[in-house]
């Protein structure tokens, strides 16, 4: 239970929002929400994102109940005596790597520590795990590490390996 505790929710999606709302309703002393990605814009660029889920800042009713939100934050470590008591993190920035993808790097001199007596991990949808099945099959991955496959036409969801198809969210990290 979050009652009387400093709560940190790591992850900014729907699951994170649920964790925030529940923690607030249980009487948490404080609720902080960290998102690894930068803060999205207030308004989406429809021409840029269509037909995919538009990238824009989403504020749920749980967020409005009183969580402190911070973006582009990476957790470094937890500290405590037999239980978590604090969380140390830093700010990050996303820069293009030599292959055209985005790479996270720490922003110097941004490390900070906050009280954290309950940490809820609501992370996911970065890309599917490659080790094991995907590496053994040798399927082609896109720049984000998802399984590459078209979603329209006769070859829908067909991977680079014959008779191997992919389902969401392993293809785009969005459920449809």
Helix/strand/coil (H/E/C) assignment for every residue in 28-71: CCEEEEEECCCCCCCCCCHHHHCCCCCCCCCCCHHHHCCCEEEE
| pTM score above 0.75 | no
DSSP 171: T
What is the reported pLDDT for 73? 92
User: Which is higher by pLDDT, 54 or 119?
Assistant: 119
What is the reported pLDDT for 77? 94
pLDDT at 78 over 90: yes
The distance in angstroms from the start CA to the end CA of the chain is 32
pLDDT at 97 over 60: yes
pLDDT at 128 over 80: no
Burial annotation 43-80 (CB, 10 A radius, 16+ → b, else e): ebeeeeeeeeeeeeeeeeebbeeebebebbbbbeeeee
Residue in the block written with tokens 């269509």: 50
Q: What percent of the chain has pLDDT over 90?
A: 32
Tokens of 77: 């470590």
pLDDT at 44 over 60: no
| pLDDT-derived band at 24, boundaries 50, 70, 90 | very high
Tokens of 37: 């990605």
What lies within 8 Å, CB to CB, of 79 at 6+ separation is 85, 86, 87, 88, 113
Kindly report the average pLDDT of the chain as a whole number: 80
């Amino acid at each position: 239970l979050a009652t009387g505790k400093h709560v940190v929710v790591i992850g900014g999606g729907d699951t994170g929002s649920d964790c925030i709302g529940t923690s607030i309703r249980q009487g948490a002393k404080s609720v902080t929400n960290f998102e690894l990605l930068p803060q999205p814009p207030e308004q989406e660029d429809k021409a840029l994102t269509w037909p995919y889920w538009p990238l824009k800042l989403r504020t749920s009713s749980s967020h409005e109940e009183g969580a402190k939100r911070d973006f582009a934050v990476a957790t470094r470590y937890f500290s405590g005596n037999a239980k978590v008591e604090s969380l140390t993190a830093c700010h990050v920035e996303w820069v293009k790597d030599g292959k055209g993808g985005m790479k996270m790097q720490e922003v110097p001199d941004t490390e900070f520590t906050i009280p954290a007596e309950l940490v809820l991990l609501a992370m996911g949808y970065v890309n599917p795990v490659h080790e094991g099945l995907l590496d053994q099959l040798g399927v082609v991955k896109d720049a984000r590490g998802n399984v590459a496959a078209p979603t329209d036409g006769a070859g829908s969801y067909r991977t680079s390996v014959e008779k191997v198809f992919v389902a969401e969210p392993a293809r785009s990290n969005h459920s449809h």
